Structure 1
Amino acid sequence: MSVTVTPNGFNLDTSGQRVVVDPVTRIEGHMRCEVNVDENNIIRNAVSTGTMWRGLEVILKGRDPRDAWAFVQRICGVCTGTHALTSVRAVEDALNIDIPENANSIRNIMQLSLQVHDHLVHFYHLHALDWVNPVNALKADPKATSALQQSISKHAKSSPGYFRDIQTRVKKFIESGQLGPFKNGYWTNPAYKLPPEADLMAVAHYLEALDFQKDIMTVRTIFGGKDTHPNWLVGGVPCAINMDGVMAAGAPINMERLNLVKSITDRTIEFIDNVYIPDLLAIAGFYKDWMYGGGLSSQALLSYGDIPDRANDYSAANLMMPRGAIINGKLEEVHEVDLRNPDEVQEFVPHSWYNYPDEGKGLHPWDGVTEPNYELGPNTVGTKTHIRELDEGAKYSWIKAPRWRGHAMEVGPLARYVIGYMQGHEEIKDQVDGVLRHLDVPITALFSTLGRTAARGLEASWAAHKQKYFLDKLIANIKAGDTATANTDNFDPSTWPSEIKGVGFTEAPRGALGHWIKIKDTKIDNYQCVVPTTWNGSPRDNQGNIGAFEASLMNTKVERAEEPVEILRTLHSFDPCLACSTHVMSEEGEELAEVKVR
């Protein structure tokens, strides 16, 4: 037996059977996971690997910082706009630019729309199939499914005929052999616990959500001109308000547009509260005993906070999403977070495929270095182009290892909700306590894969209602005569100091997102992003601490090692985005490597 105890409290045993999942699908980007399971099929070691790298930061060097948002938004095709928002906030911080109240409301509406859209798509289309068996839905009684639906919500589509039609569609789909997203599922695995009627109901809502999510995107199209990559603007938002205007080339925001946003927002609230939340509770009710995946969720949590109620005030008191950090398992002690402090956020690379001048030290993002170094450790099984087993004692991931005051942290909806709960956030406490009562489980149930999934659903409801709050606020401000959406003060580069720096942050759907920028002689001198999946998917650091993905898999029992649906359940509960978390940069911008994919 080869056991290592990590500083953050996990016993790693590499002596058991090695199970490799590569690629991990139903996520954004490319990810590999390796675990060791013992004779009882319990995971005793976990290795999470980012298997891709990208070059957006090198593209930014030397460019106009006011254009950075358009480039960094292309980091991801799922996080629509959240990188752009973080970027304009970083530049505004550096240039000391205030934005109008209308711009703050519109930005919040767009960000909240993203939260709702991302959570909805994640639950139904990326994560539900870890709990829901569509093949089993063919055994369901449509009449019993209708009764189940009517017992949990007031959803209009609940007749036996409706579910019979859905069942027929699924049957034809499966019998055609073209299974699409249902292909290669472990549908005979006993890890699936739902009765056929619950499976059929969930599949029906899978299809409904697939259709409805298009409407949610329209909100960002109205204010940003397009989606998935809306337009943004340093100093505010690019959409003008003209209540007497008609739709034309300038696409002004008028009453017709605002009424459409209101209609979509109302329907979003109805779908989240009458379909998503009831489904979440119904599915959780059949898996209450599946309390795996806690990892760092009761030990080390981080949130930057977001959704400022008033413009230009990014203090914790003005942020509707909670800010704070929990370390060492002391849940009642929430620390303040300062993204400027070089002793707080640092990135390490001893197990990442990058070089640092001194790999024994971490770097604050303002001083970040991203120099690639793809090399495999001596205990790797395989070759650089065909790895069978990684050597986690060496470098093994394209993701860096960010740490907050030296601690590996979990970020995301569960982190936000636990921090908010411990801070006494009234709305969060009411939501969480209501779910715990409904499921008849203790608060410790939060610290699990199911808790992570539940927090995302609760936040979707919270965000949908807050979207309505800011729409009402925007309309009231316009009625009061304020139509300003942008501030061009300090926009002229000739007025800027020769060297300045700034930091922008948001709470992306997947968690804490920060962009740090240095501007020299009006051009970008350095730009570094530390994204949610960098936090959650980090490899070991120089002290041996494991990251949130790896920690969450520890001590999980898998029913069948050859069909590790349990690994997918827990990893998917984070909604990983590997495209965001991997990047390269060189000072000269030359070609750094040539990669041939077989």
Structure 2
Amino acid sequence: MTNVTIDPLTRIQGHFRLSTEVNENGVITDAQSSGMLFRGLERILVNRDPRDAARITQRVCGVCPTAHAITSANALEDLFGIADQIPKDALVTRNIMQSLNMIDSHATHTYALWLPDLVNPAYRDVFATADNMGTMLWRELLHRFAPLSYKIDGISIPPGQAYVNAIKEKRRLHGSIALIAGKMPHQMSTIFGGVTYKPTVADIGKLTYYHQQLMDFVDKYTLGIDHSTWLDNTYRASSPQRAVEFVTGHLQELTESSMSSNDFSYSAGWGDIDMLLAFGSETIGEDILGLPVSFKFDRTGTYSDPANIGFLSYGAYYDVENGDGYDPLKFGQNSFHKAAFITGSLEHKKFDHMKITEEVSHSFYTGEGDDHPFDGDTEPVRNADEIDYHGGSQSKYTWIKAPRYEGVPCEVGPIARMIAMQEPLTTGLMNTFSDNGHPAVNTYIRMVARVQEMLILLERLIQWVTSDLDPDGRFSVPIDMSMAKDSQGVGLWEGARGALGHWIKTGTDSKVSKYQMVVPTTWNASPRDSNGIPGPIEQALIGTKVSAAENMLGIDNSNPTGILHTSRAYDPCIACAVHTIDLRQKDGKGERVFDIV
């Protein structure tokens, strides 16, 4: 048995450590997911004016601050009892800001953080087994997806065309958010009671222009075909089977044209998503399309025991068809993002936030466990010698807590949302894997779900901008601070990476007495619980082969692509947390103790 540890995992947000045990067959048999930051924002909010929360909680993350601002506003509007009064146009504006931020996050992860994995040097040798076709494909991958400052065998590789162009679009997306939110990251517009800025007619015109520029990029680079044609035949397909038939038929045409010419360029019709769809999966690429080689991402990141995993979506985006107001506990009942708990066997159940608990048996916190967030605490261990990341699965090994839904670890994020809404392409591909005797959920489907959700949101965004937003409407309601006395509120929403919840309680002075956040990566990167059940990323790593293309060219623990692809597909985010710790103090026995500043 060989220990393979990646510390830190790069091309994510934050400091993340993955420790694995790999057997003589190159299969991961054990894994520990360690968040390396203390996240102290819940403690900072105690005894503060609750109205500060929408500003402070955004500092959890510079990538998805809009989701935290809106989630906090939802919790405060529940706390103050005014959720049913929030003006429709304020809700539309929040929808616009949230969709822009989610699209930005998905695009950043896809193009800047994950697709560069396709040019790992191991795949040069894998694709060389396909002779000239593989050599030409490798060159095309480098041309598209090579990141900045990249070298192979000491030779500098120019940054890829898709990579560079995507960075330009990211700048456009940030500008779009800042147009109506004041700035990005950490926007200033969302407050409890509504928003602070009324978009003008000129703003709407600019957003429409920005959207058109984005769609030009999507059509030319991401898809290679018109986005309306794509969505008509996938998202709006009459059945999951028809969605898969459209995609495989489209890929078959491209494959037949390129197998003789070995031309996989944009001019030959190959969009970026086509490259992932065709060559990312053994089932789709080799078994259905007849390609000689694939990345085999559909064999990595699977779950071996359906009883020990679930999929969770809170639902997001306000239903603005019925005018003002919303119910903070009924997201997903009418909007296109659905709220649901889906079991590992893909059974859909009604979501109830009171079934959420967090425990800390393997985390660097004190306390017992199984607390609902309304009753939870964030109390770190105080003895510095207790912080040991090398103790293994039986010890405490992470700053991340272990949330569970009815005692079950849950994957959250694009795939959970796509399953909850029964999106045809995602569910159709999952059915295809199951029909061929393979796990329905894997690294490949996580990435496809993220891209598909981005495309769906791009279409929905323009409706909110041009049809639903009235620049002459109302955008806020007044608040009386005394309304928060001895109260509590819950904010449920979806960040780009998944289910995001804020829970708040106040005392007789109307100030915060308790504030708890359960963020998406807390779900995905959670450690084992008191029953010894690993979190989602840990489960997905266990059973995955450590080297490229299912150890196709042998075992190489020095280049563990199986760990890199699997973990990065969840888009972990552990960054931007407050983690100020003073190690200078000692207790009465001379032992070092933490002083949380």
- Give the TM-score band, short-chain normalised: 0.7 to 0.9
Instruction: Read off the aligned partner of 2:216 and give its amino acid letter.
Output: E
Q: 1:229 aligned to 2:217?
A: no
Given the superposition, is the C-alpha separation of residues 526 and 362 from structure 1 closer, same or farther in structure 2, using an over 3 Å criterion? same
Q: What root-mean-square deviation, in Å, do the aligned CA atoms of Structure 1 and Structure 2 show?
A: 3.6
Q: Give the corresponding residue for 1:347.
A: 358
* Structure 1: stretches of 5+ with no match in the other structure: 1-15, 150-159, 171-178, 189-198, 241-252, 377-382, 422-427, 586-590
Contact 1:326–1:335 (Cα < 8 Å) also in 2:
yes
Q: 1:511 aligned to 2:501?
A: no
Contact 2:314–2:340 (Cα < 8 Å) also in 1:
yes
Q: Give the corresponding residue for 1:196.
A: none
What displacement does 1:498 show? 2.6
Contact 1:119–1:509 (Cα < 8 Å) also in 2:
yes
Given the superposition, is the C-alpha separation of residues 302 and 431 from structure 1 closer, same or farther in structure 2, using an over 3 Å criterion? closer
Please give the alpha-carbon distance, in whole angstroms, between the structure 1 residues aligned to 2:185 and 2:560: 33
Contact 2:388–2:397 (Cα < 8 Å) also in 1:
no
Given the superposition, is the C-alpha separation of residues 546 and 434 from structure 1 closer, same or farther in structure 2, using an over 3 Å criterion? closer
Please give the alpha-carbon distance, in whole angstroms, between the structure 1 residues aligned to 2:145 and 2:66: 35
Given the superposition, is the C-alpha separation of residues 469 and 325 from structure 1 closer, same or farther in structure 2, using an over 3 Å criterion? same
Partner of 2:195: helix, strand, or coil? coil
- What does residue range 204-243 of structure 1 map to in structure 2 within 5 Å? 204-231=161-188, 232-240=190-198
Please give the alpha-carbon distance, in whole angstroms, between the structure 1 residues aligned to 2:305 and 2:445: 9
Contact 1:48–1:537 (Cα < 8 Å) also in 2:
yes
What displacement does 1:33 show? 0.5
What displacement does 1:187 show? 10
Of 298, 301, 310, which aligns to 1:293? 301
Q: Give the corresponding residue for 2:248.
A: none
Instruction: Read off the aligned partner of 2:499 and give its amino acid letter.
Output: A
Q: Give the corresponding residue for 1:409.
A: 410
Q: Give the corresponding residue for 2:325.
A: 312
Q: What is the CA deviation profile of residues 371-428 of structure 1, one whole-angstrom value per residue up to 9, with x for unaligned ones? A: 111669xxxxxx87886x332201111011000011111101011112221xxxxxx2
Contact 2:39–2:577 (Cα < 8 Å) also in 1:
no
Q: Report the count of equivalent residues.
A: 498
Instruction: Read off the aligned partner of 1:352 and give its amino acid letter.
Output: S
Of 19, 39, 42, which aligns to 2:24? 39
Q: What is the CA deviation profile of residues 535-563 of structure 1, one whole-angstrom value per residue up to 9, with x for unaligned ones? A: 01111101111100101111111221111
Contact 1:296–1:548 (Cα < 8 Å) also in 2:
no
Q: Give the corresponding residue for 1:192.
A: none
Q: Give the corresponding residue for 2:558.
A: 562
Contact 2:204–2:466 (Cα < 8 Å) also in 1:
no
- What does residue range 244-259 of structure 1 map to in structure 2 within 5 Å? 253-259=199-205
Contact 1:297–1:415 (Cα < 8 Å) also in 2:
no
Q: Give the corresponding residue for 1:59.
A: 44
Of 271, 283, 290, which aligns to 2:276? 283
Please give the alpha-carbon distance, in whole angstroms, between the structure 2 residues aligned to 1:558 and 1:257: 49
Q: Give the corresponding residue for 1:466.
A: 460
Contact 1:308–1:320 (Cα < 8 Å) also in 2:
no
Partner of 1:391: helix, strand, or coil? coil
Contact 2:358–2:402 (Cα < 8 Å) also in 1:
yes
Please give the alpha-carbon distance, in whole angstroms, between the structure 1 residues aligned to 2:342 and 2:412: 11
Q: What is the CA deviation profile of residues 445-501 of structure 1, one whole-angstrom value per residue up to 9, with x for unaligned ones? A: 6511011011000000011111111112334x44xxx5211111xx1113x153000
- What does residue range 18-417 of structure 1 map to in structure 2 within 5 Å? 18-97=3-82, 98-133=85-120, 182=150, 203-231=160-188, 232-240=190-198, 253-277=199-223, 278-289=271-282, 290=296, 291-295=299-303, 299-310=309-320, 311-314=324-327, 315=330, 316-327=332-343, 329-331=344-346, 333-339=347-353, 341=354, 344-356=355-367, 359=368, 361-373=369-381, 389-417=390-418
Please give the alpha-carbon distance, in whole angstroms, between the structure 1 residues aligned to 2:116 and 2:195: 38
Q: Give the corresponding residue for 1:246.
A: none
TM-score (norm 2): 0.76
Given the superposition, is the C-alpha separation of residues 582 and 48 from structure 1 closer, same or farther in structure 2, using an over 3 Å criterion? farther
Please give the alpha-carbon distance, in whole angstroms, between the structure 1 residues aligned to 2:89 and 2:11: 37
What displacement does 1:444 show? 5.7
Farther-moved stretch of structure 1 (570-579 vs 128-137): 128-137
Please give the alpha-carbon distance, in whole angstroms, between the structure 2 residues aligned to 1:309 and 1:441: 36
Given the superposition, is the C-alpha separation of residues 492 and 212 from structure 1 closer, same or farther in structure 2, using an over 3 Å criterion? same
TM-score (norm 1): 0.76
Q: Give the corresponding residue for 1:534.
A: 522
Given the superposition, is the C-alpha separation of residues 239 and 346 from structure 1 closer, same or farther in structure 2, using an over 3 Å criterion? same
Contact 1:411–1:511 (Cα < 8 Å) also in 2:
yes
Please give the alpha-carbon distance, in whole angstroms, between the structure 2 residues aligned to 1:114 and 1:186: 37
